[in-house]
Amino acid sequence: MPHNLTKKKTFSGKISVSLSLSKMNTKIFPLQFLYFLWISIIIQQCWSSFVSSPSSVIDPSKVKQISTKPRAYVYEGFLTGLECDHLISLAKSELKRSAVADNLSGKSKLSEVRTSSGMFIPKGKDPIVVGIEDKISTWTFLPKENGEDIQVLRYEPGQKYEPHFDYFVDKVNIARGGHRVATVLLYLTDVAKGGETVFPSAEVSTRRKVSATNSDLSECGRKGVAVKPRRGDALLFFSLHPNALPDQSSLHAGCPVIEGEKWSATKWIHVDSFDKNLTAGGNCTDSNESCEKWAALGECTKNREYMVGSPELPGYCRRSCKMREFKPQQHLLKWTLCVSVSKRIEKERERGRIQRQHKGMEVGQMQRRLLDYTKTLFMEGFLDGQFLQLQQLQDESNPGFVVEVVSLFFDDSERLLNDLTWALDQPSVDFGRVDSHVHQLKGSSSSIAAQRIKNASLAFRNFCEEQNVEACHRCLQQIKQEYYLARNNLETLFRLEQQIVAAGGSNSHAGNGFLMILNCRKESA
């Protein structure tokens, strides 16, 4: 090393490279001087990024809780400037229109609910990405293997993400890693105005709510607990309660960007390993400690969908059912049972009788759970007698009638909410058109008995008559919240019904339960 270039290691582990300008003849060695200066800067930046990745740099004093319901925290300065720039540079050339998960099929689809552009970065892309993954795991106390790849997003002016939940309501996405238990949002740039992450249903103290509502926030950001994007900051919130039930207060939205450009990165973390490749040969595992007992009771044949699954959606007890994969000449997956559990069941009639009793008890418990959940929806105003009439119109010739009607309601409501948002954002609001949209929304909600949406729509129409723009905006946000809650609750109801049918039960008990609830309500009235 030249005598005028010194290198020393600091207590923090950083390499400090210094140049003695007085000893260097810059007139004789101008190129060497510039070269060493450039190298010293690169070494300093790269080493700073490297030593900032280990868990030792997590500083709890930089974390503040912004909400108790949901549990939400902000870490100030979680990422370095170099890390922010690196994620943006990796994403710029590969951005595509962001999609959302369909709540019934689980498949990705484009939607006006989400208008950003994004891409995913593999966990082992490079040392900087690996370091960021390590920091996220250390801060959240959740395994790296439970997380999806980091998704980098870009929001241009006007782009947003409507209120939504990060936990799933479909079976397809839950099959890999289970529910999303937590989300980490990394803010890669500052945003001049707008772009906040807002929790419209969050519960916080009055003092904290007042301090969060300030002039720096957009109108959208003032409608709940909001986090303003600041370069390097990170937001962590949990979508599930500690008892693993979905937390409906985790409803959140990405406010429209008004000025500037918003770059962020999202890390979704599941309750189980997301990296586990269930379709890989040799990975014959059980996902439940009771799998061996269930297999002995004949569940491998009686409840094949859950225990064994299919090539597209593997089951949870493949090891106990002794599943193996074969690849024939056509290169198609062929799944077989190495041990015939059904023969054992035939020889052990007594055990089969116990199994049937056990299964009957399970179905009964599921039906009681469905009845209790339905009663709750009636009491909270999400359902009424109109929904019962839809149930009665459904028969064996059209078993999916109710789901079809509700799916149409979801599609129509989403379109009407987008139309309402656009109409109210115009410089000159056409209240006649706004009232027409609200009237359609009220009518469609009446067809599926979403009483709370219907009530909010009635209040909305009153403000339309008064031509009160500010009040109409407030009503629109309330309707959106009620819509997302109703959608989530109805999808949960359908999922419970599907589980009963899959277990060999019937929905007739649910219909009788609806009648009982209605009779009780009439008597109390």
pLDDT in tens, 431-483: 888 888 777 777 666 655 566 676 777 777 777 777 888 888 888 887 787 77
pLDDT grade, residue 81 (50/70/90)? very high
Q: Supply the mean pLDDT for the chain.
A: 72
d(CA 382, CA 376): 9
Once rounded to an integer, what is the mean pLDDT over residues 218-234?
93
Once rounded to an integer, what is the mean pLDDT over residues 38-63?
61
The pLDDT of residue 173 is: 60
Residues 263 and 321 in one domain: no
The pLDDT of residue 74 is: 96
pLDDT grade, residue 361 (50/70/90)? low
pLDDT grade, residue 410 (50/70/90)? confident
Number of Cβ within a 10 Å radius of residue 445: 26
385 Cα distance to chain centroid = 32
With a cut of 70, say whether residue 10 has pLDDT above it: no
Query: Where does a domain end: 207, 236, 270?
Result: 270
Domain assignment present for residue 275? The answer is no
Residues 18 and 158 in one domain: no
Residues 149 and 225 in one domain: yes
178 Cα distance to chain centroid = 11
Residues 216 and 238 in one domain: yes
Distances 123 to 101, 120, 181, 412 between C-alpha atoms, Å: 22, 9, 19, 39
State the residue range of the domain holding 322.
291-347
Phi and psi dihedrals of 301, rounded to 5?
-105, -35
Domain assignment present for residue 276? The answer is no
Residues 139 and 17 in one domain: no
**Which CATH number characterizes residue 71's domain?**
2.60.120.620
Domain assignment present for residue 190? The answer is yes
Do residues 107 and 265 make contact, with C-beta atoms less than 8 angstroms apart?
no
Phi and psi dihedrals of 337, rounded to 5?
-95, 125
The pLDDT of residue 45 is: 54
Residues 249 and 321 in one domain: no
Domain assignment present for residue 451? The answer is yes
Mean pLDDT check: name the lowest of 19-33, 140-154, 314-328.
19-33
Q: Which amino acid is at 435?
A: D
Q: What single DSSP character describes residue 359?
A: H
Residues 24-43 as b/e (b if ≥16 CB within 10 A, e otherwise) read beeeeeeeebeebeeebeee
pLDDT grade, residue 195 (50/70/90)? very high
Residues 116 and 221 in one domain: yes
Once rounded to an integer, what is the mean pLDDT over residues 374-384?
75
Residues 317 and 266 in one domain: no
**Which CATH number characterizes residue 458's domain?**
1.20.120.160
Once rounded to an integer, what is the mean pLDDT over residues 288-299?
81
Once rounded to an integer, what is the mean pLDDT over residues 288-314?
74
**Which is more confidently placed, 115 or 334?**
115
Do residues 266 and 307 make contact, with C-beta atoms less than 8 angstroms apart?
no
Residues 47 and 22 in one domain: yes
Mean pLDDT check: name the lowest of 244-253, 274-283, 501-510.
274-283
Once rounded to an integer, what is the mean pLDDT over residues 78-98?
87
d(CA 488, CA 480): 12
Per the structure, the count of domains in the chain is 4
Do residues 256 and 194 make contact, with C-beta atoms less than 8 angstroms apart?
yes
The pLDDT of residue 1 is: 45
Residues 63 and 158 in one domain: yes
With a cut of 80, say whether residue 46 has pLDDT above it: no
Bridge partners (DSSP) of residue 97 are 117
Domain assignment present for residue 494? The answer is yes
The pLDDT of residue 509 is: 42
Once rounded to an integer, what is the mean pLDDT over residues 354-366?
60
Bridge partners (DSSP) of residue 185 are 235, 266
Residues 115 and 173 in one domain: yes
Q: Which tokens belong to 281? A: 């040969």
Residues 75 and 92 in one domain: yes
What is Dmax (Cα atoms) for the chain? Answer: 101
Once rounded to an integer, what is the mean pLDDT over residues 94-114?
51
Q: pLDDT tens digit string along 338-352?
A: 334 444 445 555 555
Domain assignment present for residue 358? The answer is no
Domain assignment present for residue 281? The answer is no
Strand bridging mode 96-97 / 234-238: unpaired
Mean pLDDT check: name the lowest of 17-21, 29-33, 58-62, 288-292.
17-21
pTM across the whole model: 0.47
Query: Where does a domain end: 347, 374, 392?
Result: 347
Per-position DSSP letters for 262-308, written without gaps between them: EEEEEEEEESS-SS--TTSTT---BSSTTHHHHHHTTHHHHTHHHHT
Domain assignment present for residue 153? The answer is yes
Once rounded to an integer, what is the mean pLDDT over residues 399-419?
77
Alpha-carbon dihedral 51, 52, 54, 56, rounded to 10 degrees: 100
Do residues 206 and 273 make contact, with C-beta atoms less than 8 angstroms apart?
no
The pLDDT of residue 185 is: 97
